[in-house]
């Protein structure tokens, strides 16, 4: 209908342009007729003046009369052309106002009536669809209102739910390590020997690793530190009585990490990858073995104690020395 309306307007515009073009031709023929009449009148006056002049020759008089007759003939032709153009324009103007434009208006009226009919039908379908959907929308809104009224901020809190699922437990107090006793100092210094193959020396594990897993299993706290105010003899006696296990013999392997969790929590995805620079035999609890040049997935960065948690491609996850790795973060 939009294209049809545009076509009717273009048709009316063409008819108007034709009428304007006819009016311009009429104006041109009118000006030409007026100009030729003035020229003919001027030529007739010149011929009459020469005919009365006694000094004028007969040839000049005849030439002036011929010029006056020619101008009079041209004026007559312009008159006839102007009359014909005027008659043609009046006919075209009557056709434009009494035939063409009424027909175009009738077509536009018919098109607009059909447009109104289609719009009415469209609005009827739209209202019918709205009436069918309105009960469903009302039911949904009522359900949303009921659900909003039933909101329990504490029970619906995702943070509280995740904390309850994770088994969050507060870490125990950090133990006091008495390095004033010769036996304890010697035991601390002999955690790992210096490798003879040029590899970096491994440092003993720090106590902060047990606190890295706030959502993991609770670590068993170690025994209370000895009282520093007691004498050395009584302190050694108490240590001897409180220890149920025999002391480690010299040269016996000491566990590198005794405070690792028994099971690692399931992590989301690796935070990087790393390559083993040296071979490492993970014989202690919580550690994992790796071969030189092996590609590993980085699961947790070093927290300052010299150990990094990795995962092997063939399976298995544990801690290895940070100085034995070349790490690349994502």
The torsion defined by the Cα of 329, 289, 205 and 202, in degrees rounded to 10, comes to -90
Give the pLDDT score at 315. Answer: 86
CA distances from 325 to 147, 319, 321 (A): 53, 11, 7
In three-state secondary structure terms, 321 is strand
Q: Convert 263-318 into a string of H (helix), E (strand) and C (coil).
A: CCCCCCCCCEEEEECCCECCCCCCECCECCCCEEEEEECCCCCCEEEEEECCCCEE
Q: Which of 291, 325, 330 is nearest to 309 (CA)?
A: 325
Q: Which residues of the chain have pLDDT under 70?
A: 160-161, 163-170, 181-268
CB contact at 8 A, 9 and 75: no
Give the pLDDT score at 199. Answer: 64
Domain annotation for the chain: domains and CATH numbers:
1-146 (1.20.1270.60), 272-329 (2.30.30.40)
Question: 148: which 2 tokens?
Answer: 């909003």
Give the pLDDT score at 233. Answer: 45
Produce one character per residue of 150-183: b if its CB has 16 or more CB atoms within 10 Å, e if not: eeeeeeeeeeeeeeeeeeeeeeeeeeeeeeebee
């Amino acid at each position: 209908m939009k294209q049809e309306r545009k076509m009717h307007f273009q048709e009316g515009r063409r008819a108007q342009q034709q009428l304007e073009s006819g009016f311009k031709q009429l104006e041109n023929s009118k000006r030409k007729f007026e100009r030729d009449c003035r020229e003919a009148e001027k030529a007739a006056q010149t011929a009459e003046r020469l005919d009365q002049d006694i000094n004028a020759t007969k040839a000049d008089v005849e030439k002036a009369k011929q010029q006056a007759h020619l101008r009079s003939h041209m004026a007559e032709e312009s008159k006839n052309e102007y009359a014909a153009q005027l008659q043609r324009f009046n006919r075209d103007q009557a056709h434009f106002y009494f035939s063409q434009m009424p027909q175009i208006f009738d077509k536009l009226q018919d098109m607009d009536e059909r447009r109104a009919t289609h719009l009415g039908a469209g609005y009827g379908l739209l209202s019918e669809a709205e009436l069918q959907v309105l009960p469903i929308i009302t039911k949904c809104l009522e359900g949303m209102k009921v659900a909003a009224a039933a909101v329990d901020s504490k029970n619906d809190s995702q943070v509280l739910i995740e904390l309850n699922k994770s088994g969050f437990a507060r870490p125990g107090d950090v133990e006091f390590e008495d390095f004033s006793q010769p036996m304890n100092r010697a035991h601390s210094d002999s955690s790992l020997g210096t490798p003879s193959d040029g590899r970096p020396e491994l440092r003993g594990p720090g106590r902060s690793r047990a606190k890295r897993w706030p959502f993991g299993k609770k670590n068993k706290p170690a025994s209370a530190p000895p009282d520093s105010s007691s004498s050395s003899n009584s302190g050694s006696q108490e240590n001897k009585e409180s220890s149920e296990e025999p002391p480690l013999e010299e040269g016996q392997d000491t566990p590198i990490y005794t405070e690792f969790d028994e099971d690692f929590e399931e992590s989301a995805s690796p935070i990087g990858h790393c390559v083993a620079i040296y071979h490492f035999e993970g014989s202690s609890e919580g550690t994992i073995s790796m071969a030189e040049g092996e590609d590993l997935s980085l699961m947790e960065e070093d927290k300052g104690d010299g150990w990094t948690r990795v995962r092997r491609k063939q399976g298995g996850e544990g801690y290895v020395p940070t100085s034995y790795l070349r790490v690349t973060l994502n």
